[in-house]
Structure 1
Amino acid sequence: MEIAEKLLKFKFHILIGFTFSLFIFLICYLAPSFIDILKYFWPLFVSTALFLVAIVVFGRISPPATEAPGEKAGEGLLDYVAGPPEQVQSLLEDAEVEESVKAE
């Protein structure tokens, strides 16, 4: 009787474990096989592999980027977008002069 009492104590755990095991078994039984998945997705796998090979090949055969000494990557682009600092400074000075003239 002692075993039956312990089993009744854990009846919900046993039921949940059995249900989970049955669910996993049904998923494995109903799921398509690995070969079927490969047959369906082989064009995607091949195109991805060719794209990665092309990246590696172009990375090896392209000439190295020559940058000015001391210039960080992308700094020239940032300077172009922001504009030369000399022009900004001169525009600020001109605006200050105009404001002081209007104030007098």
Structure 2
Amino acid sequence: MEIPEKVLKLRYHILGALLLCLTIFSVVLVAPRLMTLLGYFWPLLLSTALVLALVFFFAKTCPLSSTDSTSFQNAGQTLLDYVAGHHEPPLDSRHKSD
């Protein structure tokens, strides 16, 4: 009589453990193997790693000076003004086809 009462007391723990075991078992059987995924995606992973390495390399070797950052801000503001429609006509109003 004592064992069924303890099993009944732990029924949610036992059910949770069974569900966890079934989930792990089904993932192992159904999911593709890691080497299969790496074999399929290795070009994408390699190119992404190379691009990130180049970005870090250029960030370390080409630091921006303070004058460069202000010119970038001015260029960005000019571009935003142009896109917003607040641009001035070009100085040379003649077209190349004239």
Show structure 2 runs of 5+ residues with no match: 79-98
Amino acid at match of 2:39: K
RMSD: 3.1
Helix, strand or coil at the partner of 2:32: coil
**What TM-score do the two structures reach when normalised by structure 1?**
0.55
> CA 1:5–1:22 in structure 2 vs 1: closer, same or farther (change >3 Å)?
same
Question: Whole-Å Cα distance in 1 between the matches of residues 22 and 4 of structure 2?
Answer: 23
Partner of residue 13, structure 1: 13
Amino acid at match of 1:20: L
Helix, strand or coil at the partner of 2:65: coil
Task: Give the 4+ runs in structure 1 shifted more than 2 A.
Answer: 9-13, 56-68, 73-78
Partner of residue 90, structure 2: none
Partner of residue 77, structure 1: 73
Amino acid at match of 2:46: V
> CA 1:27–1:76 in structure 2 vs 1: closer, same or farther (change >3 Å)?
closer
Question: Whole-Å Cα distance in 2 between the matches of residues 16 and 64 of structure 1?
Answer: 56
Amino acid at match of 1:11: R
**What TM-score do the two structures reach when normalised by structure 2?**
0.57
Q: Report the alpha carbon displacement of residue 47 of structure 1 after superposing the two structures with TM.
A: 0.6
> CA 1:3–1:55 in structure 2 vs 1: closer, same or farther (change >3 Å)?
same
* Number of aligned residues: 77
1:52-72 Cα distance to aligned partner (Å, 9 max, x none):
22223333554753529xxxx
1:54 aligns with 2:54: yes
